[in-house]
Structure 1
Amino acid sequence: MKRRIQFTIVFISIFLFMCNPKKTEDSSSLLLFFLLSNTANTSAATTTSTVTSSAVVSTFAGLSGSSGTTDGTGSDARFRFPYSITMDAGGSFYVTDNGNYTIRKITSTGVVTTFAGTAGSSGTTDATGGAARFYDPEGISVDSSGNLYVSDNLKYTIRKITSSGVVTTFVGSLDNVGTTDGTGTAARFYSPRSLAIDSNGNLFLADSGNHNIRKITSAGVVTTYAGTTASSGSTDDSSLASKFFEPNGIAVDSNGNVYVADTSNSTIRKISSTGIVSTLAGLAGSRGTTDGAGSEARFSWPQGLTVDSSGNVFVADTYNHTIRKITSAGVVTTVAGTAGTSGTTDGVGATAKFSFPRGITLDGSGNLLIADSSNGSIRKIVF
C-alpha cells in the first residue's frame, strides 16, 4: 500500500509539472495534501454532489485542449494556461496568460489580442505593450480608470498596466521575498496571487506564501489586512488574529466584505467590513465534493472567486473541476461540471466539463467567465 501511495504522489507531481513547469509551488502543496491524506487519515468527505443546474456552458475564446499564442476571434485564438480573468467598465476582459507570459484582452464579442508582454519571452522589464515582460503573471484586477494590476507571483511584485498599455512595477521588490508592510518597493510579498479591488480603489491581495491578506491603497501603501503573517492555520477571529493556509482566490462585495478561497484549507472564508474573519463554507482539512450548508459542504483546493450584487459567491473549485455557488446564507450548490471528472465538453450543468478551472469573473449580465487553465480556454456560463 505504501508503494502504491508513493507512486500516486510521484505520478501526480509529474503530471502537474508537465501541465505547467513553473507551478512548482502548486505541485509541492498537492504533494503535501496527498501525504497528509494517506498517512494521517484526514477526513475527506466522500459524498458526491448532484448537479441539477440549468447553467449553459460554452467556450468563449480559445480551443480547449489546444494551447498556443495566436490572437484571433473565438476558437481561432489560443492561450497557454490562462490563470485569472477580470472585466473592465467597458465590458472587455483581461486574462493573465500565464504560460505565455502575457496579458490578453478579449472584447465582448470574443476578439482576442495581446495587450502586454510578448508570448514565449519571460522577464521583468517595465515598458509599453509588447516591450514589457512578465515572469509568472497570475492574479489580475482592474480599477474604475481602466488600470490593470497583475501579481507577478514568482518575482514577488504587483505590476500596474495603464489603459494605454504602459507597464510599471507598482509595489514589491524584484526577487525579494518578505513580509514587510510599506510603500511601493519597500513592501515585500511571498507568492502574491489573486487580486480584487473595492469601490474606493483599494486592492486586496491573497499573499499565499505569507498566509495572509494584504491591502494596497491606490497610492501604493501596503498593509497586512488579515491573517497571522508566516503562520498557517484556519483560525476564525479578528483580522490579524485569524489564520489562513495558502489563500489564493479573493473577491470583494459592494459592502466591503472580502471573500477568500483559503486554498490549502479547502474552505471559503469571509472577512467582514469590520475585520472579523469567519468560515463561510467548507471544513478546514476536509476535502470533498459535497453540496450543503456551511461546514457541511466540501471543496477541493478552490482557487478562484467572484461575488455578484446579491451576495452570491461563485467558486472555481479547481481540483474538483467544478463551478460552485454559495448563497449569502452559506448554502453551497454545484452549478456546472462533474466533480472528479475533467474534460472539454460544453453543455448544461453536469454534462459540461472543465480541467482545473482557476480564474472566474462576472460580466454585466450576470454570466460567468472562467479561465479554464489546463484546457487553455475561456469558458462562459449563462444562467
Structure 2
Amino acid sequence: MFTACKKNDSPAPAPTPVSTTGTVSAVAGSGVAGFANGTAGAAVFSYPTALAVDASGNLLVADQANNQIRKIVTTSGATTTFSGSVTQGSSNTSAVGTLASYNNPAGVAVDATGNVYVADYGNNQIRKIISTGAVSTLAGATSSGKTDATGTAARFNGPSGVAVDAAGNVYVADFNNNLIRKITAAGVVTTLAGSSAGKADGTGTSAQFNGPRSIAVDAAGNLYVADANNHAIRKVTAAGVVTTLAGSGSIGNADGTGTAASFYHPAGVAVDVNGNVYVADTDNNLVRKITPAGAVTSLAGSGYLSLITPFNAPAGVAVDATGTTVYVACSLGNVILKVK
C-alpha cells in the first residue's frame, strides 16, 4: 500500500503542545478498515487517502485499499461506490462504474464539467471518469517511467496526486519520479517542474522535490504541492517557477510564517476561493491552514502520532466552495471528518 513516509527519516522530536481552532465532526466511516456502503457510521472504508468536492458539494474519496472511488452525500453521509471494484486490477480498456478496475488509487479531482480524474498509483496511470461512469485512461501505462508523450505513450512512476485547472489541464504529483507533470485535455504530457530527489527552489528541472504526494490548483493557475519527504508545502506557477510556501524542511509541528513553520510528512493539500491552503499534516495528526502570505496555523488534530485520536494519519483534504468547511480523510482512522 502506498505511503509517503521514508524509512530512513530521522526520529521525530518530542511532541510540543498544539493550539487548534476548528470544530470537528464525523461525516462517514466506521473507524474500522473494510468495505461497506451505507450512511454515516455504517459506511466502511479502507485507507482513504484523497478527497475532492464536486459541484453539488458532495465528496469523492480515493478509497485506496479498496481500489475504489467512493461518493459521499455530505448532507446525509450516504456513501456509495462511484467507480471501481474491490478487486485490484489493471485494465486499460474503457469500463463503466464497478466494472472498472484500479490499483491503489491515491488521488482524485473533479473538473468544472463534472469529469473525475484519478491518480491510479499502482497502475502508473491517470484515469478519467465521465458523467456516464465510463472510465478511460487519459495518460500513462502500467509500466513505469518518466517519458513525456501523448496518452498511453507517456509514463509515470507512482502518480499519487491530481488536480485540474479551469482550462481543463490536469496536473500530477508523480511521486516516485519526484516530478510535477502537466496533461492537456488532448492527453499531451509534459514535465512542468522537478528532477532528481532533493529540495531546491527554481524553475522547471532546476527545482527539486522529494516525494510530492498531492497537488492543488488555485483560481490563478498556481499549484500547491505537499512535498511529503521534505516536510514542506511548495508553490509552482504556471510557468514552472517553484518556491517554498511553508515548512522548514525539518520534522516538527510549529506554527509560524514560511520556513518558521514545520510539518511531518504532509500528504494532502487543498486551496479555497480566497487562496488559503489547507494541509493534511499526516504524521502530526493535524490539519493546518496557510494564508496567502504563508502564515501557518493548526485547525484541528493532536500534533503528535496517536492511534486514539480520530485524526489518525490524515492523508487527504478538500474544502467546499465557500471555504467554510474542510473535509479530511483519515487513512488509518478509516473515517471522513469535517472541520469548521
Q: TM-score range by the shorter chain?
A: over 0.9
Counterpart Cα distance in 1 of 2:334 and 2:14: 29
Structure holding more helix per residue: 1
Match of 1:360 in 2: 317
Which of 185, 188, 191 is matched with 1:221 structurally? 188
Match of 1:253 in 2: 218
Which of 78, 89, 109 is matched with 1:123 structurally? 89
Match of 2:126 in 1: 158
Counterpart Cα distance in 1 of 2:172 and 2:332: 23
Superposition CA RMSD, Å: 1.6
Q: Under a length normalisation based on structure 1, what TM-score does the superposition of the two structures give?
A: 0.84
Give yes or no for contact 1:318–1:358 (8 Å, CA) kept in 2. Answer: yes
Give yes or no for contact 1:49–1:291 (8 Å, CA) kept in 2. Answer: no
Counterpart Cα distance in 2 of 1:179 and 1:294: 31
- 5 Å matches for 1:1-383? 22-23=1-2, 26=4, 29-33=5-9, 37=10, 48-53=16-21, 55-64=22-31, 66-109=32-75, 110-119=77-86, 121-125=87-91, 126-174=94-142, 176-228=143-195, 231-284=196-249, 286-343=250-307, 345=309, 353-365=310-322, 366-382=324-340
Give yes or no for contact 1:193–1:206 (8 Å, CA) kept in 2. Answer: yes
* Secondary structure at the counterpart of residue 248 of structure 1: strand
Match of 1:10 in 2: none
Give yes or no for contact 1:238–1:275 (8 Å, CA) kept in 2. Answer: yes
* Secondary structure at the counterpart of residue 213 of structure 2: coil
Which amino acid in 2 is paired with 1:265? N
Structure holding more strand per residue: 2
* Secondary structure at the counterpart of residue 205 of structure 1: strand
Structure 1 residue 170: Cα displacement = 1.4
Q: Give the direction of change, closer, same or farther, for the CA distance of 1:57–1:343 in structure 2 (3 Å limit).
A: farther
Identity %: 44
Give yes or no for contact 2:165–2:221 (8 Å, CA) kept in 1. Answer: yes
Q: Give the direction of change, closer, same or farther, for the CA distance of 1:106–1:170 in structure 2 (3 Å limit).
A: same
Which amino acid in 1 is paired with 2:123? K
* Secondary structure at the counterpart of residue 354 of structure 1: coil
Which amino acid in 1 is paired with 2:25? S
Structure 1 residue 309: Cα displacement = 1.5
Give yes or no for contact 2:15–2:303 (8 Å, CA) kept in 1. Answer: no
Unaligned runs of at least 5 residues, structure 2 = none
* Secondary structure at the counterpart of residue 122 of structure 2: helix
Q: Give the direction of change, closer, same or farther, for the CA distance of 1:108–1:225 in structure 2 (3 Å limit).
A: same
Counterpart Cα distance in 1 of 2:111 and 2:254: 35
Structure 1 residue 49: Cα displacement = 5.0
Counterpart Cα distance in 2 of 1:249 and 1:90: 23
Give yes or no for contact 1:124–1:132 (8 Å, CA) kept in 2. Answer: no
Q: Give the paired residue count.
A: 336
Summarize deviations over 1:342-363 as a string: whole Å, max 9, x none: 3455xxxxxxx40111111011
Q: Under a length normalisation based on structure 2, what TM-score does the superposition of the two structures give?
A: 0.95
Which amino acid in 2 is paired with 1:200? A
Give yes or no for contact 1:46–1:290 (8 Å, CA) kept in 2. Answer: no
